[in-house]
Amino acid sequence: PPVIRREDYQPFPWLVPTTQLDFRLGLEATTVTATLQVERNPAAAASRELCLNGDSLTAQSVTVDGAPAEWRMDGPDLIVTLPGEAHSVTIVTRIDPSANTQLMGLYASNGMLCTQCESEGFRRITFFPDRPDVLSTYAVRMEGDANLFPILLCNGNRTNAGENGDGTHWAEWHDPWPKPSYLFALVAGDLVANSKPFVTVSGREVECNVWVRAEDLTRTDHALESLHRSMKWDEDVFGREYDLDLYNIVAVSDFNMGAMENKGLNVFNTKYVLADPDTATDADFDAVEGVIAHEYFHNWSGNRITCRDWFQLSLKEGFTVLRDQLFSQDMRGEAVKRIEDVRILRAAQFPEDSGPLAHPIRPDSYREISNFYTATVYNKGAEVIRMMRSMVGVERFRAGTDLYFDRHDGEAATCEDFIKAIEDGAGIDLAQFRRWYSQAGTPRVTVSQAVEGDTLKLTLKQTVPVTPGQPDKLPMPIPLRVAVHSRGQGALGEEQLIVLTDEEQSFSLPLTGPDPVVSINRGFTAPVVIERALQREDLVFLAAHDDDPFARSEALQELAVSHLVGTASGSLAAGEQAAGEAAIIGAFRSSLADNALDDAMRGELMVLPSETYLFEVMATGDRKADPGAIHTAREGLKAAIGTALADELNALHARASAVTLDDPAGRGARKVKTIALGLIAAADPARAAHLAAAQYDAADNMTDRQGALMVLCGLDGPEREAKLADFYARYRDNALVVDKWFTLQALSLHPDVIAHVRQLAEHPDFTMKNPNRVRSLHMAFAGNPKGFHKADGEGYRMVADVILALDPINPQTAARFVPALGRWRRIEPGRAALMKGELERIMAAGNLSRDTFEQVSRSLE
**Which one of Zn ion, ligand HT7, none is in contact with 256 (Cβ closer than 5 to 8 A by kind)?**
ligand HT7
Minimum distance from residue 317 beta carbon to ligand HT7 (Å): 5
Q: Distance (Å, rounded) from C-alpha 224 to C-alpha 249?
A: 9
Considering only residues 812-831, where is the footprint of ligand HT7 by CB under 6 A? 812
Considering only residues 256-285, where is the footprint of ligand HT7 by CB under 6 A? 256-257, 259-261
Minimum distance from residue 306 beta carbon to Zn ion (Å): 12
- Choices 290-298, 462-470, 531-539, 662-670 (CB under 6 A): range interacting with ligand HT7: 290-298
- Site size toward Zn ion (CB under 5 A) is 2
Burial 631-651 (b: 16+ CB within 10 A, else e): bebbebbbbbbbebbeebbbe
Of residues 305, 261, 292, 527, the one with CA closest to residue 401: 305
Phi, psi of 242 (to 5 degrees): -70, 150
**β partners of residue 585:** none
Q: With contact defined as beta carbons under 8 Å apart, do 42 and 36 qualify?
A: no
For ligand HT7, the closer of residues 313 and 735 by Cβ is 313
For ligand HT7, the closer of residues 22 and 175 by Cβ is 175
User: Which residue in the shown chain puts its C-beta closest to ligand HT7?
Assistant: 257
Q: How far apart are the first and last CA of the chain?
A: 16
At residue 711, what is the residue type? V
At residue 600's C-alpha, the angle toward residues 594 and 606, to 5°, is 65
For ligand HT7, the closer of residues 377 and 460 by Cβ is 377
Minimum distance from residue 823 beta carbon to ligand HT7 (Å): 23
Listing from the earlier edge strand, what are the strands of the sheet with 529-531? 504-510, 455-463, 444-452, 529-531
Considering only residues 320-339, where is the footprint of Zn ion by CB under 5 A? 320
For Zn ion, the closer of residues 344 and 474 by Cβ is 344
Q: For the chain, give me the number of helices (H) and strands (E)? A: 31, 31
**β partners of residue 818:** none
For ligand HT7, the closer of residues 668 and 771 by Cβ is 771
For ligand HT7, the closer of residues 273 and 692 by Cβ is 273
Q: Distance (Å, rounded) from C-alpha 563 to C-alpha 548?
A: 23
Q: Distance (Å, rounded) from C-alpha 198 to C-alpha 232?
A: 9
Minimum distance from residue 798 beta carbon to ligand HT7 (Å): 25
Of residues 584, 551, 550, 556, the one with CA closest to residue 484: 551
Minimum distance from residue 119 beta carbon to ligand HT7 (Å): 6
The continuous run of DSSP H or E covering 538 comes out as helix 536-545
Minimum distance from residue 297 beta carbon to Zn ion (Å): 8
Q: With contact defined as beta carbons under 8 Å apart, do 65 and 90 qualify?
A: no
For Zn ion, the closer of residues 261 and 616 by Cβ is 261
Q: With contact defined as beta carbons under 8 Å apart, do 89 and 38 qualify?
A: yes
Minimum distance from residue 272 beta carbon to ligand HT7 (Å): 10
| CA dihedral sign of residues 435, 438, 442, 443 | negative
- Site size toward ligand HT7 (CB under 6 A) is 15
Q: Distance (Å, rounded) from C-alpha 144 to C-alpha 187?
A: 11
Considering only residues 238-257, where is the footprint of ligand HT7 by CB under 6 A? 256-257
Q: Distance (Å, rounded) from C-alpha 402 to C-alpha 241?
A: 12
The answer to whether 295 is a known catalytic residue is yes
Q: Distance (Å, rounded) from C-alpha 847 to C-alpha 784?
A: 29
Minimum distance from residue 320 beta carbon to Zn ion (Å): 5
Dihedral in degrees, nearest 10, Cα atoms 579, 583, 586, 592: -140
119 binds ligand HT7 (CB under 6 A): yes
For ligand HT7, the closer of residues 523 and 811 by Cβ is 811
Q: With contact defined as beta carbons under 8 Å apart, do 96 and 20 qualify?
A: no
Considering only residues 219-238, where is the footprint of ligand HT7 by CB under 6 A? none
Name which position in 123, 294, 420, 790 contacts ligand HT7 (CB under 6 A): 294
Output DSSP code: residue 346.
I
* 210 contact partners, CB below 8 Å, separation of at least 6: 193, 194, 195, 220, 223, 224, 227, 249, 251, 273
Name which position in 295, 558, 599, 739 contacts ligand HT7 (CB under 6 A): 295
**Which one of ligand HT7, Zn ion, none is in contact with 616 (Cβ closer than 5 to 8 A by kind)?**
none
Minimum distance from residue 776 beta carbon to Zn ion (Å): 22
Name which position in 143, 175, 286, 317 contacts ligand HT7 (CB under 6 A): 317
Q: Residue 452, class by beta-carbon neighbours within 10 Å (0-12 exposed, 13-18 middle, 19+ buried)?
A: exposed
Strands of 643-709, DSSP E: none
Q: Which of 120, 143, 289, 295 is catalytic?
A: 295
For ligand HT7, the closer of residues 370 and 657 by Cβ is 370
Per-residue interface string for the shown chain with Zn ion, residues 295-324, x marking contact by CB under 5 A = ----------------------x--x----
**Which one of ligand HT7, Zn ion, none is in contact with 257 (Cβ closer than 5 to 8 A by kind)?**
ligand HT7
Name which position in 211, 319, 373, 436 contacts ligand HT7 (CB under 6 A): 373
Give catalytic residues, as residue numbers.
Answer: 295
Interface residue list for Zn ion (CB under 5 A): 317, 320
Interface residue list for ligand HT7 (CB under 6 A): 116, 118-119, 256-257, 259-261, 294-295, 298, 317, 370, 373, 812
